[in-house]
Structure 1
């Protein structure tokens, strides 16, 4: 790990067998790191669904010199998750035959993502992590880290996620998948090289998703029933260019994702979250959580629609080693862990302080 801070790097981990028994050839993991590794000073940061390895960008107020995750003291590493499209092997990556994996890319689980990340750390010779932390899909990966490889993890911070996907989450996420797979340009997942991409489906999926990332009150206060300037949604005929302001906002969010993300990865990773269940094969949720030996801070958002706060309360009540419980109070909903810089700064600084104090038992409420 001698590249400049923040530089995108790749590490090959060889052929990879998934939890379900499928094989992915010649897997490559993309990552970035900030700071110098010195013994037990490595913080592994996990990104959300459409995030990437550039934690210093999407968590810009948290990662850097003098910040909560102080890169003058800590070595911060952030990988791109297996199945994504930002450098790590995923559906858009080349298959051994030279074409994109496309529909041949196997179904993966959160555990697969963590196991691939463990193989990456093995390649770098890293045997100990001071802490793992992340939100949303990153929180799911963090939680799995504490159960799959507790011997490597000193502490964990699990943010805005559940211990398993709920039926509501699976339903809302399946609606997004359906929007993409019903787009004629999807071509069964093999649109790569056809000159077509399922842009309409991906944009529709993002519109649905974005409403679950934000709080209902925040959206209503911002837009209400206001028309988009220059348009009249109350006219005698319905046309696509006569929108409410909130429609225009969601259209914009859809276009932004289409410009930066791959539909195949979106389907792959959304299905991965649908399979999230730490209790699978471990005697159920509560037994699995109780078996955790890694001191863990749990963080939730009081207005989160996607991962309601009661789901973080459930984790905290059943964890075998609860370090602290913290609530983000914000109208922003699920995205508050990315948008509420001041509160997250306080929470992350407290988390780091607690990991250094090593209290050795008992939990804190922050």
Structure 2
């Protein structure tokens, strides 16, 4: 008997320790972690800089209410918005919370209530974020959803244009739909969204909970598109494993979030902010990001060299999907038994999300294990 609710399909492994890309279970077996907490452990497990800052900050201050000024939050906000169109930040505890804040801000600023989202998107499991999500399986059993979301096909300019009317406050999207199957936005669709938002006065909200903070080889994934979002949300890799979320917005939105309009007890606490500051200082280094891009090219090149032509490799940076065109549950289990942890993105896609610090040697080892699980001869 378990004392926990059964809302997770848990794997029968108890991971007890980790260092870098390698984790170990309670039986002493080691695994290459190409899930990294679902794009969370961005600098690898037990990164020395994160361990040091947690020790240092824990001896000074863990929590203080947002009733008080926070120079540490100001510093992180400045780092995240530097050289962007954003000027202000709100800190919370998760991606879903960040998306809830984005939804509220868009509606408050515009005075409108409709937000357009896309099929196969994923924005979280709180009630507003769940309603925004374009996957029916997420919504089943919870009764009527909030009526303020209008979901249209992804990468379909005509369908998007047809959905626009005077009630639309914002368009909310992921540049790469991670949970929905690692689907990238097309240049045409990004251009269409940018033009609609500019010409109609509609806000653009980009959900970078999974793609942000270096995961795709740039600070933020939208930087590789023509999109200029008014609002952006972050979480997952921002804290390198410590819970934190953020919503960034432009100066025009500042007055919409006055005192009492939104809040959080734990968001932006000193421990979380100090860890996130350390993470972004490492990842936002140009040399670090260039290395992520090089490793991405290496992984994708190796995969394309060994996979059958029926398979499709998608993604950017170290957010990579392998569409096997069939159910991958057995493949993932076999890879796990061989010592490689990967995760699904829909029924037919294997998603690779290693720490951004993964080495080329670990990549080679992982591809060898994966090719064995897929029963494909490896040239590694």
TM-score, normalised on structure 2? 0.28
TM-score (norm 1): 0.29
Higher relative contact order (CA 8 A, sep 6+): 2
